[in-house]
């Protein structure tokens, strides 16, 4: 499951008229995203260095090297920023990179295949896994807690889900 590169941030759009951008950091310490430079676009075609970074309400404001005006900053809207995995610290016990979870097989405690992890979200109350079910193709949301996900086997590429379908949304 291990990805060679990990998404650490996403540009949300321009902030002001001097080329600053709104930045959503996916690192444990949001301001640490600056420490992983250079950051690359998803296709690897563009590289970015953060010259300045400050918190704002609900996001960070970043000054990227070479981005000097609003129109250039606007063209970067929704660009995801990646770094090579080896530049990141190893996760602590019971910590996981989202990139490692996405694509994992979801199985019941009895080993029955349920589906696969499509995405990991956090809307403010903790992480939630989006699973695509094999039987119906529908997606469901499962809280990413030890109650609902008691086992994560990164090398084996699977997670164990403990819940009834009435527990998920």
CATH number of the domain where residue 15 is located? 2.40.30.60
Q: Say whether pLDDT at 165 is over 70.
A: no
Give the pLDDT mean for 12-32. Answer: 93
* Structural domain contains residue 103: yes
The confidence band for 2, taking pLDDT boundaries of 50, 70 and 90, is very low
- Asked whether the predicted pLDDT for residue 96 surpasses 50, the reply is yes
On the question of pLDDT at 1 being above 50, the answer is no
141 and 130 Cβ atoms separated by less than 8 Å: yes
Mean pLDDT of 126-152: 92
- Residue whose entry in the numeric block shows the structure tokens 């609902």: 148
What residue numbers bound the domain in which 143 lies? 98-167
E-state strands within the chain: 5-15, 20-25, 39-40, 47-48, 50-56, 59-64, 80-84, 105-108, 113-122, 127-133, 139-143, 151-153, 158-161
| Total residue length of the chain | 169
pLDDT for the residue numbered 99: 85
| DSSP assignment of 19-37 | TEEEEEE-SSSGGGGGGGP
In this model, does residue 124 exceed pLDDT 50?
Answer: yes
pLDDT at 131 over 60: yes
Task: Look up tokens 């296709």; give the residue.
Answer: 43
Does this model's pTM top 0.95? My answer is no
Domain count, the chain: 2
Sign of CA dihedral 111, 114, 115, 117: negative
Mean pLDDT of the residues in the chain: 90
Is there a domain that residue 33 lies in? yes
Task: Give the mean model confidence (pLDDT) for residues 75-91.
Answer: 91
Which has the higher per-residue pLDDT, 137 or 3? Answer: 137
Give the pLDDT mean for 135-152. Answer: 92
Q: Is residue 92 part of a domain?
A: no
């Amino acid at each position: 499951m291990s990805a060679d590169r990990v998404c650490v941030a996403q540009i949300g759009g321009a902030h002001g008229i001097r080329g600053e951008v709104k930045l959503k950091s996916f690192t444990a310490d949001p301001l640490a995203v600056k420490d992983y430079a250079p950051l690359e676009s998803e296709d690897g075609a563009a590289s970015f260095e953060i010259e300045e970074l400050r918190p704002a309400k609900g996001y960070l404001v970043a000054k990227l090297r070479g981005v000097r005006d609003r129109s250039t900053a606007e063209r970067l809207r929704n660009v995801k920023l990646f770094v090579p995995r080896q530049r990141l610290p190893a996760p602590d016990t019971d910590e996981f990179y989202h990139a490692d979870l996405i694509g994992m097989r979801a199985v019941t405690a009895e080993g029955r295949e349920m589906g696969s992890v499509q995405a990991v979200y956090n809307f403010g109350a903790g992480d939630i896994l989006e699973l695509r079910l094999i039987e119906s193709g529908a997606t469901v949301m499962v809280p990413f807690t030890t109650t609902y996900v008691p086992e994560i086997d990164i090398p084996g590429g699977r997670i164990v889900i403990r819940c009834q379908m009435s527990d998920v949304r």
